Amino acid sequence: MKTAAVHSWLLPCLLGGIALATPAFAQDDDAPYAYPDEEEKSEETESPRRRRAEPEDRAEEFRQAAEEGDEEKDFERLANLDDPNTGVAFEVLGGAMLLSSPRGQFADLLPAVGGRFTWEIGRLFNNETLREALWFDVRYTYAGMREGTQLIIGDTRLHYATIAPAYELTVGESKNYGFYAQVGGGIAYEHTALEIGGKATQVDGIKSLIQYGVGFRGRTPLSTESNLRLAWRIELMRFRRGYMDDTFVGASMGTAF
């Protein structure tokens, strides 16, 4: 009697447990588990693809570098247009003229004065070096002497008019100072008057000349709000007229824009 009662109670419990248990599903075959050996094999198969992709990446870098280079070239052109400097200067000059002596002496020392107009013609070019280095002067220089006795007096006056290009090697980051060399040409007008006993005899003449020399030039800024600058130079210049060489040693000062 008791054994039959236990079996009758156990059977419904087992059936209920089976009904309430969660069903177990098989693993999805679409996403299998990756074992370490299989991961190494997949990396080995992908590495040739990466190697093939590297040249394409480098080619893209080269293209970007070329585009950046084109942008820099365009920037230089725009910098030429946006440059606040007009490259024009006016200066007054003075110094000593060592006039070649026709008497065979070393030289006749004379005071000399004049003026010049400077234009930095290199600013017409897109080349950065030429913009700062190339310029030319239109120059006028005067020197004269008067000597003799109470009976005979000689009066000589020399006028030099030249146009001379120059090439400058700038120093410093501001490029406002530099050493330059200059070669050009022009004419020399000479007026000579010889007075004997109060009577004057005048002789005029024009000769072509060659101007050449070296110097140091500065363009010191005067204001941060404008482009006004103090233009100045120290120079050693020679004027060859015919067989005579006249040497000018002096300085100049003026304004640049």
The pLDDT of residue 72: 47
Q: Where are the domains of the chain?
A: 29-82, 86-256
**235 — phi, psi (to 5°)?**
-145, 160
- Note the pLDDT tens digit of each residue in 46-62: 555 555 545 555 566 65
Do strands 88-99 and 244-256 pair parallel, antiparallel, or not at all (unpaired)?
antiparallel
Residues of the chain with pLDDT under 50: 1-3, 24-26, 53, 72-76
CA 62/CA 86 separation, integer angstroms = 38
The pLDDT of residue 111: 94
How big is the chain by its Cα radius of gyration, in Å? Answer: 46
Q: Which fold has domain 86-256?
A: Porin (2.40.160)
Q: How far is CA 67 from the centre of its chain?
A: 22
The pLDDT of residue 125: 83
Closest listed residue to residue 133, CA positions, set 166, 165, 168, 176: 168
- Note the pLDDT tens digit of each residue in 28-47: 555 555 555 555 555 555 55
pTM over 0.75: no
The pLDDT of residue 131: 86
Cβ-contact 200, 191 below 8 angstroms: no
Cβ-contact 162, 189 below 8 angstroms: no
List of E strands, the chain: 88-99, 108-119, 134-148, 152-171, 177-196, 199-221, 229-241, 244-256
The pLDDT of residue 74: 47
